Amino acid sequence: MFLLFLLLAGTSVGAFQTSVTDYAPALNVPCPDITNTEFVREFTASNQSLNPREVEYVQTRLNSTIPEAWKDWLGDGSQIGYNASSFQGLFPKVGLALPGGGLRAAQWGAASLSALDARNESSKAAGTGGLLQVSSYITGLSGGSWITGSIFFNDFPGFNDLVFGNGGNLGGWLLDLPFATPDGTDIFSERNQYFFGSILWSVMAKAGTGIDTSLTDPWARMISYHFLNQTSRDNFFSNDTAHGAGQLWSSIPDIPSFKNYSLPFPILVTDSRPSDDNSTTVLPLDSIITPFELASYDPNLSAGANLSYAGTHFNNKVPANGTACVTGFDQAGFMMGTSASLFNQILDFGSNTIQGFSDSDAKGLLYVLSRQLAEVRTRADDVANWPNPFQGLKDGVYQDSGATWLSLIDGASNIENIPLGPLFVKERGLDVVVTLDGSADTSQSWPNGTGVIFSKKRQEEILAASHQPFPPVPQDAQAFLDTGTTLRPTFMGCDPKNPSDYPLMLYIPNTPPFNGDDPVANTATFRLTYTQKHMRLMFDQIHNNTISGFVPNTNDADPNFGKCLQCAAIDRARYKMNPILARSDFCQKCFDQYCFDPQNPPSQDELPNRKFNFVDPDPQGLTRLTGFLGKNKGKLIGGLVGLAALIGVMIGGLIWWRKRRERNRQGAYKRVSALHQLEDEDAGRRSSKFSTNKFVMDTGPRYEDFVRPEAYELPSHRGSIVH
Ligand SMILES: *[C@@H]1O[C@H](CO)[C@@H](O)[C@H](O)[C@H]1NC(C)=O
Ligand SMILES: *[C@@H]1O[C@H](CO)[C@@H](O)[C@H](O)[C@H]1NC(C)=O
Ligand SMILES: *[C@@H]1O[C@H](CO)[C@@H](O)[C@H](O)[C@H]1NC(C)=O
Ligand SMILES: *[C@@H]1O[C@H](CO)[C@@H](O)[C@H](O)[C@H]1NC(C)=O
Ligand SMILES: *[C@@H]1O[C@H](CO)[C@@H](O)[C@H](O)[C@H]1NC(C)=O
Ligand SMILES: *[C@@H]1O[C@H](CO)[C@@H](O)[C@H](O)[C@H]1NC(C)=O
Ligand SMILES: *[C@@H]1O[C@H](CO)[C@@H](O)[C@H](O)[C@H]1NC(C)=O
Ligand SMILES: *[C@@H]1O[C@H](CO)[C@@H](O)[C@H](O)[C@H]1NC(C)=O
Ligand SMILES: *[C@@H]1O[C@H](CO)[C@@H](O)[C@H](O)[C@H]1NC(C)=O
Ligand SMILES: *[C@@H]1O[C@H](CO)[C@@H](O)[C@H](O)[C@H]1NC(C)=O
Ligand SMILES: *[C@@H]1O[C@H](CO)[C@@H](O)[C@H](O)[C@H]1NC(C)=O
Ligand SMILES: *[C@@H]1O[C@H](CO)[C@@H](O)[C@H](O)[C@H]1NC(C)=O
């Protein structure tokens, strides 16, 4: 023991060096005094409350940063026919929603936000730049959660720098390194093996604590390589940084641009499948993740749990064991992975997918994988596993009141692909909801309003007591298409009878280029690689589209669109005046053009010469890429299969390791947990954790072996992993 201590002391020189194993939560942390700490708060649908720290953030921002931002955006208001000072500082409360859709959605989010960002000169010049700065909330789901997380964990750089890097501290998203197989499709290439080794090392460090892992964990780690801030092209295939491991969602409040209230308050959306039901037909409960809480405003739960202690088992709002709290569970990558945990869907259709890709070269591999996937598909392996902080709450109403674990899944699992729910929560009191719809609904991967329609339906059927009503929107997907609502920006709910009837919705969809150019931004959700050239063109096309509006019956940009967007954003402020202020003539003209009037709907005929079919702007690019990276062209398989393959490898590794753990208690992780206990005796000495990792790195096993073919060892019996 003493020797061990010396070792620790010796290695703690590099105490501030981080490691991919920082992904492991800390267990058995003493809980704060339960007599004066509220870990879980409850409310009701009719008497909601928000987390006090959320309220503090949003209010302070509304009182400080946002009035300045309105002033910067609208000037004195004369451009749009108002005198800004007549609003008396009572500005509308605005929220932005970023939908899901994998890497397309992440890029859509970045480029459309750049069009609304006052810091970008062309957006500023167009008049659209500024909406981001006046917003109070930003919500993201699945691929939309990746851009949301990326903004925060890179400290809110310009979007161009965020996505493409700045040649300095920002490495960019590196989407030309395929997500699941960054060294190309040969999963046994040396560099892919290194990458998998690093990922598995993270996942195993977590599993070693005894907390259930699942496919969401390796997925979370891959997301971290691209969207968090510690990965560059130079260190991608190395263990030189933690690649985002150890960065916690609950530490967002420490990020400089959050500290000075520069950013909207972030909310991620995930769905909660009843833990005792693995069917895909049950309508899940909506849950949200903020920097402070895992919460649900669905009437049947109406509760929030302190995110810093996520991972702790709670019973009736108190820790099940007062000396066994968990911290560090809320890894940023795992939060984004939870919101994008769609494996229950993929694996449901797993056999189809594999059938679809059964080309002769991949057949053998796929056969093994399908066997594996079938074997390990358990309740726990295809969802994000969270210890249930709400156990014991709302028995008989809350679906998981009796459950020890929650099954959290992709936020769009209930077909609500746009995270609108949190923005309609009554207590948040939003006046304007900006819906950035980058969904791929149609066969050409454009939106058709399905996400909005399902959110509206859910509001009406389940959330009427807790959420604001929706404004009038086209009645179904066909109507969204027929009215041209998916081809141009549209304002919905422009003229409520009472201002509190519903918020105004600014619907800004991913559209075919207004100018008739070939589209490059309607890519498939499961596309896991983009060339830098494609990324650049996609970003600029979305940016151009989003600042341009439309002129009926032409392919021209509307020079007034930016001002019209200002009219829409400020419009609800008129109702806060007594008497209500009249809409300006200028703004009324904007509303005549951009509002959706159900009585007098517009038509898609006003939007001529749009091209709908995706045209690959860099057709040689991916071939070159794979030609360069792949060692064996015959083994080329699609991105999805690549992902499936990797998942299989991960599962293989996990099973192997779990079995090994069961069998051989002398393994390295015995030592790790022993060290964890050491650490618990002195929880303040965080540095010991880093030393622990170093120790394992130097003397522990190397995981290269896990991902060799022999790792495809199948579990001896089904469900061995379920707790
Ligand atoms: C509570 O957790 C501690 C570890 O911090 C453990 O030693 C103890 O056995 C646990 N108590 C119960 C009742 O499980
Ligand atoms: C609403 O909830 C708060 C606590 O969040 C409580 O203090 C208040 O009494 C409740 N109001 C009503 C009408 O129930
Ligand atoms: C914000 O301003 C309102 C009204 O001016 C005031 O009541 C409130 O205390 C302020 N909140 C904060 C957090 O400064
Ligand atoms: C705007 O309103 C303020 C106060 O009502 C007034 O002092 C100012 O002169 C007005 N500005 C213009 C340009 O009319
Ligand atoms: C990355 O982000 C974390 C969390 O915001 C921060 O502590 C760290 O300084 C950043 N690292 C770099 C290299 O920018
Ligand atoms: C990182 O370390 C792990 C564990 O030793 C190893 O399996 C993996 O290959 C390493 N990754 C790289 C990129 O060197
Ligand atoms: C807030 O902090 C960020 C990051 O440090 C900085 O770039 C920005 O200028 C600051 N904004 C304000 C309004 O102080
Ligand atoms: C979960 O799925 C498995 C495999 O499809 C099935 O055998 C099992 O009965 C399901 N369990 C429940 C509780 O639905
Ligand atoms: C909410 O609880 C009610 C019973 O009070 C139940 O009928 C309903 O199915 C539950 N809703 C959801 C979405 O679980
Ligand atoms: C709209 O999109 C959904 C997928 O989100 C699809 O199922 C539906 O068929 C589409 N409807 C129309 C009319 O395009
Ligand atoms: C503003 O956006 C345009 C379009 O994407 C881009 O070309 C330009 O570099 C951006 N400017 C800055 C300062 O990021
Ligand atoms: C933006 O739109 C203008 C006007 O149609 C066009 O000239 C320009 O090429 C477009 N830029 C991009 C990057 O699409």
Q: Across-strand partners of 140?
A: 98, 268
Measured by CA distance, the residue closest to atom 1 of ligand 6 is 198
Residue 60 CA, closest ligand 3 atom number: 13
Q: At CA 17, angle to CA 14 and CA 21, rounded to 5?
A: 120
Per-residue pLDDT for 683 more than 60? no
Per-residue pLDDT for 55 more than 50? yes
Q: Is 166 in the pocket of ligand 3 (CB under 6 A)?
A: no
Strand pairing class (135-141; 94-98) = parallel
The tokens for 590 are: 């904007």
Which position has the higher pLDDT, 699 or 547? 547
Which position has the higher pLDDT, 82 or 622? 82
The tokens for 529 are: 């690689």
Query: Ligand 3 centre from 419 Cα, in Å?
Result: 28
Measured by CA distance, the residue closest to atom 13 of ligand 4 is 83
Interatomic CA distance for residues 173 and 250, integer angstroms: 23
* DSSP tag of 519: P
Question: Which of these, 448, 545, 577, 474, lies nearest to 115 by C-alpha position?
Answer: 545
Q: What is the pLDDT of residues 553-600, one digit of tens each?
A: 999 999 999 999 999 999 999 999 999 999 999 999 999 999 999 999
The tokens for 620 are: 């040689």
Q: Which of 18, 237, 239, 243 is the best mutation target for the ligand 6 pocket, counting ligand atoms within 8 Å of the beta carbon and taking the most?
A: 239
Measured by CA distance, the residue closest to atom 7 of ligand 11 is 540
pLDDT, position 646 = 55
Measured by CA distance, the residue closest to atom 7 of ligand 8 is 378
Interatomic CA distance for residues 639 and 176, integer angstroms: 12
Query: Ligand 8 centre from 277 Cα, in Å?
Result: 7
- Residue spans of beta strands (DSSP E) within 515-636: 595-596
Supply the angle between the helices 102-115 and 532-548 in degrees, to the nearest 10: 50
Measured by CA distance, the residue closest to atom 12 of ligand 11 is 120
Rounded to two decimals, the pTM is 0.87
Q: Which of 61, 262, 263 is the best mutation target for the ligand 7 pocket, counting ligand atoms within 8 Å of the beta carbon and taking the most?
A: 262
Q: Is 260 in the pocket of ligand 7 (CB under 6 A)?
A: yes
Supply the angle between the helices 561-570 and 585-594 in degrees, to the nearest 10: 100
Query: Ligand 10 centre from 637 Cα, in Å?
Result: 28
Query: Ligand 2 centre from 277 Cα, in Å?
Result: 34
Residue 155 CA, closest ligand 5 atom number: 5
Q: Which helix (H) or strand (E) holds 295?
A: strand 293-296
- What phi, psi does 557 have (nearest 5°)? -75, 150
Q: Is 475 in the pocket of ligand 10 (CB under 6 A)?
A: no
Query: Ligand 4 centre from 74 Cα, in Å?
Result: 15
Which position has the higher pLDDT, 586 or 712? 586
Query: Ligand 4 centre from 85 Cα, in Å?
Result: 7
Query: Ligand 3 centre from 466 Cα, in Å?
Result: 25
Per-residue pLDDT for 285 more than 80? yes
Question: Which of these, 65, 63, 25, lies nearest to 246 by C-alpha position?
Answer: 25
Q: Is 441 in the pocket of ligand 10 (CB under 6 A)?
A: yes
Interatomic CA distance for residues 83 and 618, integer angstroms: 49
Q: Is 60 in the pocket of ligand 3 (CB under 6 A)?
A: yes
The tokens for 259 are: 């500290």
Measured by CA distance, the residue closest to atom 14 of ligand 6 is 238
Residue 704 CA, closest ligand 6 atom number: 7
Ranking 20-29, 193-202, 394-403, 502-511 by mean pLDDT, the lowest is 193-202
Measured by CA distance, the residue closest to atom 11 of ligand 10 is 477
Confidence class for position 209, pLDDT limits 50, 70, 90: confident
Residue 30 CA, closest ligand 1 atom number: 5
Q: Is 85 in the pocket of ligand 3 (CB under 6 A)?
A: no
Q: Is 545 in the pocket of ligand 11 (CB under 6 A)?
A: no
Question: Residue with structure tokens 């599962």?
Answer: 651
Please give the average per-residue pLDDT across 4-29, as a whole number.
67
Judged by its nearest atom, the ligand closest to the C-alpha of residue 235 is: 6
* DSSP tag of 43: -
Q: What is the pLDDT of residues 483-498, one digit of tens each?
A: 999 999 999 999 999 9
Per-residue pLDDT for 670 more than 70? no
Q: Is 262 in the pocket of ligand 7 (CB under 6 A)?
A: yes
Query: Ligand 2 centre from 53 Cα, in Å?
Result: 18
* DSSP tag of 706: G
Confidence class for position 246, pLDDT limits 50, 70, 90: very high
Q: Is 351 in the pocket of ligand 4 (CB under 6 A)?
A: no
Q: Is 120 in the pocket of ligand 11 (CB under 6 A)?
A: yes
Query: Ligand 5 centre from 165 Cα, in Å?
Result: 15
Please give the average per-residue pLDDT across 239-250, as a whole number.
97
pLDDT, position 351 = 43
- How many Cβ atoms are within 10 Å of 684's Cβ, its own excluded? 7
Measured by CA distance, the residue closest to atom 7 of ligand 12 is 515
pLDDT, position 511 = 97
Please give the average per-residue pLDDT across 71-96, as a whole number.
96
List of residues 6+ apart from 540 with CB closer than 8 A: 111
Interatomic CA distance for residues 142 and 102, integer angstroms: 7
Per-residue pLDDT for 360 more than 60? no
Q: Is 247 in the pocket of ligand 5 (CB under 6 A)?
A: yes
3-state secondary structure 301-316: CCEEEEHHHCCCCEEC
Measured by CA distance, the residue closest to atom 10 of ligand 11 is 120
Strand pairing class (325-327; 135-141) = unpaired
Interatomic CA distance for residues 481 and 84, integer angstroms: 37
Q: At CA 396, angle to CA 395 and CA 398, rounded to 5?
A: 70
Q: Across-strand partners of 38?
A: none
Q: Which of 72, 132, 133, 257 is the best mutation target for the ligand 7 pocket, counting ligand atoms within 8 Å of the beta carbon and taking the most?
A: 257
Judged by its nearest atom, the ligand closest to the C-alpha of residue 27 is: 1
Q: Is 43 in the pocket of ligand 2 (CB under 6 A)?
A: yes
Measured by CA distance, the residue closest to atom 14 of ligand 1 is 321
Q: Is 442 in the pocket of ligand 10 (CB under 6 A)?
A: yes
Percentage, residues of the chain above pLDDT 70:
77
Please give the average per-residue pLDDT across 534-546, as a whole number.
98
Confidence class for position 186, pLDDT limits 50, 70, 90: confident
Distances (CA, A) of 476 to 37, 449, 485, 595: 47, 7, 11, 17
Query: Ligand 5 centre from 620 Cα, in Å?
Result: 36
Confidence class for position 73, pLDDT limits 50, 70, 90: very high
Helix, strand and coil content of the chain, in percent to the nearest 5, comes to: 40, 10, 45
Interatomic CA distance for residues 650 and 657, integer angstroms: 10
pLDDT, position 413 = 84
Q: Is 586 in the pocket of ligand 11 (CB under 6 A)?
A: no
Per-residue pLDDT for 685 more than 60? no
Alpha helices in 381-476 (DSSP H): 421-424, 450-461
Confidence class for position 719, pLDDT limits 50, 70, 90: very low
Residue 76 CA, closest ligand 4 atom number: 13
**Do the beta carbons of residue 630 and residue 354 sit within 8 Å?**
no
Lining ligand 8 with CB less than 6 A are: 276-278
- Residue spans of beta strands (DSSP E) within 430-515: 432-437, 490-492, 504-509
- How many Cβ atoms are within 10 Å of 565's Cβ, its own excluded? 30
Interatomic CA distance for residues 189 and 582, integer angstroms: 67
Q: What is the pLDDT of residues 121-166, one digit of tens each?
A: 999 999 999 999 999 999 999 999 999 999 999 999 999 999 999 9
Confidence class for position 16, pLDDT limits 50, 70, 90: low
Per-residue pLDDT for 347 more than 70? no
Per-residue pLDDT for 630 more than 60? no
